[in-house]
Structure 1
Amino acid sequence: MYDERVRAIALAAISAGESLNSISKRLGPSRSTLRDWRDGDRCPPRPNDCPICSDETPPAPSYSHLLGLYLGDGCLSEHRRGVYALRIACDDAYPRLIDEAAGVMSAVHSSRPVHRVQAIGYTSVVSYWKHWPCLFPQHGPGPKHQRTIELAQWQRQIVAEYPEMFLRGLFNSDGCRVANWATRRVGGQTKRYEYPRYQFSNESADIMGLCQWALDLLGIPWRMPRPNALSVARREGVRRLDAFIGPKG
């Protein structure tokens, strides 16, 4: 049996286009199990129901993922008749992440179509709904780093339950996995060593604090080389992040 965290990570990888064989080798579930998860029963769409207005909660793994994407590269904008557009800006260099953002947005509210709007160098993944502000009470005027960003209690509970998916959203938006190098003297000779590390950059101290909190929940060590940049470089931390994030490309 696999817990809901593994299932959520696997479904996110499937929606991003990763092969079942690759996911099976990385996470453990067989390909038949992955197919069952992929093709399993889905909740019927509820075109007008808002889970927050109904004293319910959105689907936790997908919402935690989408919340990370929203805090990284997302915004809400108001249109006519009280309809809001949720937009996630995705770099065209990473088509896998565009597919993943569209998939997770649809999973949170499946009765609303998800559109892809091409811009110069990036694609906006967009969905229209009157109740998006209910799901993202952090919405407000101006850039996120110029206002307070705090999670509601129900949001904190979801992130605490699925910190992996929240971090996947954050790092896929404003983070990266890079190769660093260092030199060391061995036997009188200078040798170069390469090692991977994860970086997360954000101008909002509040969003940075949420990233730190989620990493702490998983026991992943981090450091702050700059006030707006976080680094995970220790081998065990990188290995943990590789299990549910991995390179963007």
Structure 2
Amino acid sequence: MVARGLKPLIALLASGIPGAAPPGLHFAEVAASAGIRATIVCGGPEKKWIPEANGSGAAWLDYDRDGWIDLLVVNGSTMDRLAKIVQGAGAGTAAQGAYLFRNLGNGRFRDVSASSGIANPYWGTGANAADYDNDGDPDILITTIGLDLLWRNNGDGTFSEVGKAAGLSRKLAWHTGSAFGDYDGDGDLDLYVAGYVDLSALALERPAPVCQYQGLAVFCGPLGVKGERDLLYRNNGDGTFSDVTAAAGVE
């Protein structure tokens, strides 16, 4: 389904009513007026497949270090293109693969996706931002149904994709989320990537089965499908990672 406009960007406003106990909290949807507009793709108009039941991810980061938090939005894809990804016959989305909005500091954002160089030829599932190379700039990891993308911040408003050079797995996989953290206490941010199901076992030619829950039709889930393993990468401190999943006992 193609949806015009990002799902609500929420502005939090505290009510200043004297004597209110406790004070209430009010939310206002301001995405359009703030300049955040995106075409989000998540399969077709009718949700028949498991990937279509999941949205994509987003991340807040100050990519240009101007003191204002910017916004990254990851896009999905269509089922026909996803089938090509799984078959290793190609990649690409029917729309822009990722959006980067620069915070102008006045309550508005500017779309700098094209000039930043950030792209996503796969079905994006999640986003994370951290300074993995310790150069002072936040970098970006996009998890996908496809190959995970590591975007190194060049410090000039642009990014370079360095996933292969950094040692990330080049196996097509369905990864959902990720987390950076210094698990070994050496001062470098390591990386954990969560897997969902094994793409080689996912039968895309059959719609997901439908179950009943409290009278409603819901997805049954990937019954009988082999799970995709999680990954733990150790940061080598030189801009590269080593897969230590097995050595660390991660299952």
Greater share of residues in strand: 2
Greater share of residues in helix: 1
- The higher radius of gyration belongs to 2
Is the TM value for this pair above 0.5? Answer: no
Higher RCO (C-alpha 8 Å, min separation 6): 1
Give the TM-score of the pair, scaled to structure 1. 0.25
